[in-house]
Amino acid sequence: MSLLDTKRRVGIESPRGEYEIEGSDRAAEEYRSRLRNACIDHALRLGMQEGVVLNLGTRTGELAIRLAQCAPEVTVLGIDSSADRIGAATEAAESAGLLGRIHFQTADYRSTRFKSEYFDAVLCDGLMHQTEDPSTLIDEIARLVKSDGAILIRDWRRPSMASAWWHWRWFGRKYSTPGRQQFKIQVESSLSYSEWRALLKHSQLQGSARLFVEGLQYIGIERPAAASLFAGLAAQRERKEYLAETEGWRKNIRG
């Protein structure tokens, strides 16, 4: 922890992620929907568009359902430690007509019983601030995902002491009074930039994954799927070849 970081709050039960914070009106729900969509867009860019994706800390299934809707070739397994949340997630998936492609189960995310390198990708959003030992969660994710699989671990970013007051007021403005308090607890329980950097450096993902910062509010660890990475490089190469070819055409036309 940096000397400028606020002290992290641990061991406090709070809503899991921004999607469970109480909102005051329709604007708050639209705000949460934008946050969900931004997370899924990020996952799709990393290559979570086919195969079996593990959604750790699935809550009531919002992200799992949205991912399945956006990526028809994906099968999602969502796990959560709360049986009530899993029940709600199953009902939501059934209502969306996606039960054949989404499965939910109650499990301890810190130590699952799945085989190593079983999943094609892992999506974990809003769960890091709930664990007192984040390194355990990171190493479990590293064990579960295939060596060429995509990873997205995303959570709140705990602000520095200088910006904490402003951070809570500005980013909590969409929520009701109880919601703002819930939001503050979540942010205080989250990791700072320096803690995320140290976590990645000493984890099993060091060398294959990277730290990312999303504005002032979010931070995490990402790793693109190998196929997605190669496709991106191929697209860049094809674009360069196309530009070189069209430049030749333009020269001939001008000549």
Q: Are residues 153 and 247 in the same domain?
A: no
Tokens encoding 117: 């390198």
Write b or e for each residue in 42-67: b if 16 or more Cβ atoms lie within 10 A of its Cβ, otherwise e. bbbebbbbebebbbbbbbbbbbbbbb
CA separation for the pair 134, 123 (Å, rounded): 15
Residue 182 backbone phi and psi in degrees, to 5: -60, -45
Question: Torsion over CA of 115, 147, 36 and 84, rounded to 10 degrees?
Answer: 10
- Determine the pLDDT at residue 241: 56
Least confident of 50-64, 153-167, 228-242: 228-242
Residues whose CB is less than 8 angstroms from the CB of residue 121 and which lie 6 or more positions away in sequence, other chains included: 43, 46, 47, 48, 51, 52, 53, 54, 145, 149, 150, 151, 152, 225
Q: Where are the alpha helices (DSSP H) in 62-163?
A: 62-70, 83-95, 134-144
Mean pLDDT, all residues of the chain: 83
- Kindly state the average pLDDT of the residues 213-226: 93
Assess contact for 189 and 130: CB atoms under 8 A.
yes
What is the per-residue pLDDT for 180? 80
DSSP label at residue 129: G
Average pLDDT score over residue span 3-11: 72
**159-185 in b/e burial notation, b at 16+ Cβ within 10 A?**
bbeeebeebbeebbebbeeebbbbbbb
Q: How many domains in the chain?
A: 2
Confidence of residue 1 (pLDDT cuts 50, 70, 90): low
Are residue 154 and residue 72 in the same domain, yes or no?
yes
Q: How confident is the model at residue 91 (pLDDT cuts 50, 70, 90)?
A: very high
Same domain, 206 and 247: no
With 60 as the cut, is the pLDDT of residue 63 above it? Answer: yes
What proportion of the chain, given as a percentage, has pLDDT over 70? 80
Amino acid letter, residue 185: I
At residue 104, does pLDDT exceed 70?
Answer: yes
Q: State whether 186 and 73 are in the same domain.
A: yes
Q: Is residue 219 part of a domain?
A: yes
Question: Could you report the per-residue pLDDT of 41-52, keeping only the tens digit for each?
Answer: 999 999 999 999
- Domain-located, residue 8: no
Range of the domain at 187: 18-224
Task: Identify whether 9 is part of a domain.
Answer: no
